[in-house]
Structure 1
Amino acid sequence: MDKRVKGSIFVFLGACSFGVLSTIVKIAYSEGYTLGHITGSQSFLGMLLLWILYLLQKKLFPTRSTYNTENKGDIRPKTAWWKVCAAGMFTGLVGIFYYQCVKLLPASISIILLMQYLWISIVIEAIIFKKKPTRIQLIAVCIVLIGTVFAGGVFNESLTLNPTGVAFGFLAALAYALFLITSGRVGNELPALKKGALMITGSCILTFIIFPPLFFFDGVLFDGLYKWGLALAVFGTVIPPLFFSIGIPKTGVSLGAIFSTAELPVAVLSSYLILRENVALLQWMGVVIILMAIVLPNLKSLTNRKKNRLV
C-alpha cells in the first residue's frame, strides 16, 4: 500500500474516533459532571491506558518497541522526552477549550468553530515552515468550509452566540492545529505507543495544573465518572493521537488536516443515532460535501497508481 494512502487511512480513522467526543461530553454534562471532571478523568485514564499498552508491547514484542520500524536506519538524534510531553500539552488544551465551547454553544456551532483548525494549520505551515499549500489542497479547504456550514446546521436554527463560547471555539481550533503540526514533527523516531504515552502525559500534567484532580478523593471517579472518562480516553486520548502520530508523518500536515475533517460527519451521525437529535437535509448535504473534499486530495495519486498498474 502507498505510504501516503496508508497514512491517510490512519488519520481518517483517528478523526472518526475524535468525532464521537461531543456526544459523550453532552451525556456526561447531562449527568452533572463538570469540565474539570471530564477533562481530568479523560487525561488520566488515557495516560494510564497508553503506558500499559506500551509496556505490554515492550514486553511481548521487544524488537518492535525499541525503535519505530517505519524509521529503521534513521540516524537522527532522539527527541528529548520532555519535548514530546510539552507537545502533548496541546492535546490537553484542545479538550479543555472544546468541551467548554460545547457547554456554552450549540454542538453544531462548536464543531464549526473547531473545524477552523483546517485553514489555521495550513496558514501556520505556510508562515513558519514556508510550505505552500497546493492548489488542490486549497480547493479542498474551500469545499470543507462550505460543507462545514451546511453540516453544522447554521441555516436550520436561530443563532444566539455566546462571545466567550466563540472565543473558546477558536482557541480549540488553534490548539488542534498546533497539535497536528507538533504530532507530525516531534518524536517521530519513537515507537508510536511511547510517543502517544509521552504526549498524553504532558496533556495530563497540564490538565491537573488547571483542574486539580479532586475526583480522586471525593469519590466522584468511582461513582460513575470513570465510565465517561474511560470512553473519552479511548476515543479521544488513545486512538486519535496514536493514529495521527502514525499517519501525519506520511501524509504531511496540510493533507493530514484535510483528512482529519472526517470528525465532523461522524459527529453529525453520532448525534443523530445516539442523542436522537434532528439532522436536516442540508446537514446531510454538508456531510457529503466534506466526504468529497476528503477524497479529493488523493484522487490524483490514486489515478496515477492505477495507470502504473495498467502499464
Structure 2
Amino acid sequence: MKNLKYIFMVLLGGTMYGTMSSFVKLSYTKGFNAAEISFWQAFIAALLLAIYAFSTRKNIKGKLTFGNFIFLLFTGSAIGLTNFFYYESVSYISASLAIVILMQFTWFSLLLEWLIFKSKPSKPELITVSFILVGTIMAGNILGAKAWEFSMKGVLFALSSSLTYTVYIIANSRVSKSVRWQTKSMVIMMGSSLCLFSINSEIILSSDYLNDKFFCWAIFLAVVGTTVPTALFASGISKIGVGISSILMTVELPVAIICARIVLKEQIGSLQIVGIVIMLASICIMNYYKVYKSKR
C-alpha cells in the first residue's frame, strides 16, 4: 500500500504534463515558438526548484555525489529535448496526433529495459501494453485520418520526443534513491535548461519576444508543466520503477485529447472516446495487478 502514494504522484505528474501540448499550441498564436517556450519553461522551473531545495536542505538528509550530479544533468537534457521536440511537433500536427506518437514510450521503455538491463517485462505488462497501443490508435483517430494530411516533419519531431522521453524515464528510475527529490528535481531542470540553451542560444538571446505577456505564459507553463510534474516524477519514478511508471504516464494521452478538445476545439469522435476508455481501463488493471503482487 505504501507504493500507492508514489503511484498517485506519477499519475498526477502525467496528468499535468498532458495538458501542455494544448497550452503550448495556444501560445503559438501569441507569436512565440518552441525554442523560446521550452527554454524559459525549464529555466524558471530550475529557479523555483532551486529556491525550494535550498530552503529545505537543513531539514532533509541526502547526499549528492559528483557522479549523481552529472547523471541528473544528463537526465535533465533528455526531458529538455523531449519538451522541445514535442512542442515543435504541435506546430506541424494536431495536439491529439502528437500525444499519440509520444505514447510510444510505453513500449520503447519496456524494450530498452529488457535490452539494456535484461529486465524482462512480465506477461501482464505485455498484455497491458498491447491494449494501450490499441487504445492509442483509436484515441488518436489514426484509422480515420488521411495519411497525406500528416506533416512528416511533425511526426518525426513527435517520434523524437517519444525516444528522448523513454531515455528520461529510464534514467530517472536509475538515479540513486539517496538523492532527495528536491535536489534531484533542481539538477534535472538545470540540465534541461543548459541543453536547450546550447542548441537554441541564437533564438533565445533575441530580445524581441521578452515582454510581460511572454513571461506570464512562461511562468504558467513552468509551474504546471515542469516544476510540479518534475518533482512528482523525481520522487515517484525511482520508488515504483520504470515499468509501472511508463504505464501510469500514459494517462497523458486521454488528458491531452480532452484538453485539446476544450482548449483548441479539436474534434473528438466516438472512436477516440472508446480508445480513451480502453487506456484508462488498462492503467487501472495494471495498478491493481501491481498492488496485489506487492501484497503477496
TM-score by length of 2: 0.92
How far the C-alpha of 1:205 sits from its partner, in A, is: 0.4
1:252 aligns with 2:241: yes
Amino acid of the structure 2 residue aligned with 1:279: I
Within 5 Å, which residues of 2 pair with 1:116-265? 116-159=104-147, 160-212=149-201, 218=207, 220-265=209-254
Q: Structure 1 183/156 Cα, relative in aligned 2: closer, same or farther at 3 Å? A: same
Q: Post-superposition shift, 1:144?
A: 0.7
Deviates more, 1:207-216 or 1:285-294: 207-216
Identify the residue that residue 287 of structure 1 maps to in structure 2: 276
Q: Could you tell which deviates more after superposition, 185-194 or 141-150?
A: 185-194
Q: Is residue 45 of structure 2 the alignment partner of residue 46 of structure 1?
A: yes
- The letter of the residue matching 1:242 is A
**C-alpha displacement of 1:167:** 1.7
Structure 2 equivalent of residue 63 of structure 1: 59
Q: 1:187 to 1:232 in 2, by over 3 A?
A: farther
Which ranges in structure 2 are unaligned for 5 or more consecutive residues? Answer: none
Identity %: 32
Query: What is the CA RMSD across the aligned residues, in angstroms?
Result: 2.1
Code of the residue aligned with 2:46 in structure 1: it is: M
Kept in 1: contact 2:96–2:260 (CA 8 A):
no
Q: Residue 63 of structure 1 aligns to a residue in which SS? A: coil
> How many angstroms does 1:216 deviate by?
6.0
Amino acid at match of 2:240: T
Contact 2:103 2:250 in 1 (8 A): yes
- Pick the aligned partner of 2:89 from 81, 97, 101: 101
- 1:206-249 CA-to-partner distances (Å, cap 9, x unmatched) read 10111117556625232411122112211222122211111112
Report the Cα distance in structure 1 between the residues aligned to 2:72 and 2:292, rounded to whole angstroms: 37
2:14, 2:251 within 8 Å by CA — same for their partners in 1? yes
1:269 deviates by 1.6
Change (3 A) 1:193 1:90: same
Task: Describe the shift of the 1:96–1:131 C-alpha distance in structure 2 as closer, same or farther (beyond 3 A).
Answer: same
- For 1:260 and 1:206, locate their aligned partners in 2 and report how far apart those are by CA, in whole Å: 24
Distance 1:300 1:204 in 2: 38
Q: Supply the distance in 2 between the matched residues of 1:286 and 1:169 (Cα, whole angstroms).
A: 20
Partners of 1:88 and 1:77 lie apart in 2 by 16
Q: Aligned equivalents of 1:284 and 1:169: distance in 2?
A: 22
Tell me the SS of whatever aligns to 2:90: helix
Task: Report the Cα distance in structure 2 between the residues aligned to 1:225 and 1:77, rounded to whole angstroms.
Answer: 36
Equivalent of 1:81, from 64, 69, 86? Answer: 69
- Measured after TM superposition, the shift of residue 63 of structure 1 is 2.4
One-letter code aligned to 2:178: E
Cα distance in 2 for partners of 1:280, 1:234 equals: 31
Q: What is the Cα deviation at residue 50 of structure 1?
A: 1.0
Contact 1:87 1:186 in 2 (8 A): no
Structure 2 contact 23–263 (Cα < 8 Å) conserved: no
Deviations 1:284-309, CA, capped at 9 Å, x for gaps = 11111110111111223545789x9x
- One-letter amino acid of the counterpart of residue 23, structure 2: I
Residue 289 of structure 2: SS of its match in structure 1?
Answer: helix
